[in-house]
Structure 1
């Protein structure tokens, strides 16, 4: 996968791309990336990329010309039609299924805004996806783009030490992930569930499924609306209805 990031502040990404999993994935050629400072594409003699909004109002608005020209230039360097992603608080709420969808692409372009917002023509005629990472507003789109890129790259083959890890994450199955334990089996009198020490793989998988359902039931019950449950699992739900946590 190739990722182009249109940003006025490329240095913000260095800590993310040069650390931990992202650094290892880049060095292993799982993906590559390029910073594109769209200020370099402005035709304004003062190198401005923003201007006052028509109709008045607070803040400055990113002009269409630099961003359109930057995206056009990036597209000319690839044979794969890219997904052009606008990071925007008005966009689609981001979720794991969207990450899995984007992980199937060969080329992603992220547009990271700043100031008050974007000229609407960018939104209507240039991008393929608008993404929001939550119902709040950040100073710029860079932080949101880092979040999305990390969640996508970790799904690419070879990004993680064990490719099965991503498949077991919260939301990948539609549920929150089950609890995890490691050595020692007894820490300050706090013990690991016997099922995990049994060596019985069927019993372990049943325990993990039940605990995953329980955690989802008490923390994110809305996620269960799309989950098909067995009769036994429905009985667990009935029991949990009488519990208080």
Structure 2
């Protein structure tokens, strides 16, 4: 009986090539799937996140500016630049009252508000007007318009008994209205009005405010707004 021949080397080589092609094809397919599954577009974690607000950002609202306080309560007295008259001003709670007097026949009472910056516009009868500015709480510099004339003045801060005084009364049927300015140093300028007729006022005692008019003792009191 004749014996069968073994497969030749050619068959063995062919089988090895087929196996190699199969393995390469399998690896290529697996790599493509893995790459597709790892794509950022398919991953839920790829959704963009909102950035946190920056810290230390300036506030859109600015704090209100500090409010100014009203000028302090005080009294001021002085003379006009031409030395013809005296002016006194009393400040209380943002209000002011002033008295202009030449000590003979010309006088005016004025009043109004004082602004936080120390400026004031005070008005009186017959168009009288005082415009002034408080300087560092030590003095008032301004003008008085009265009877068609303008008087520039400086009134320094007054310490009692200096300041502004007034007395009203009826004596022997006559209505009396007196105003006095006691200047620093003690000098007085005042007018006493009897039933609308002005004249130089008698001297008051600045410590007590007493004054004698037509034999009757009156008391002049410090004037405040």
What's the TM-score once normalised by structure 1's chain length?
Answer: 0.19
The structure richer in strand per residue is 2
What's the TM-score once normalised by structure 2's chain length?
Answer: 0.20
Q: Which one scores higher on RCO, CA 8 angstroms, separation ≥ 6?
A: 1
The structure richer in helix per residue is 1
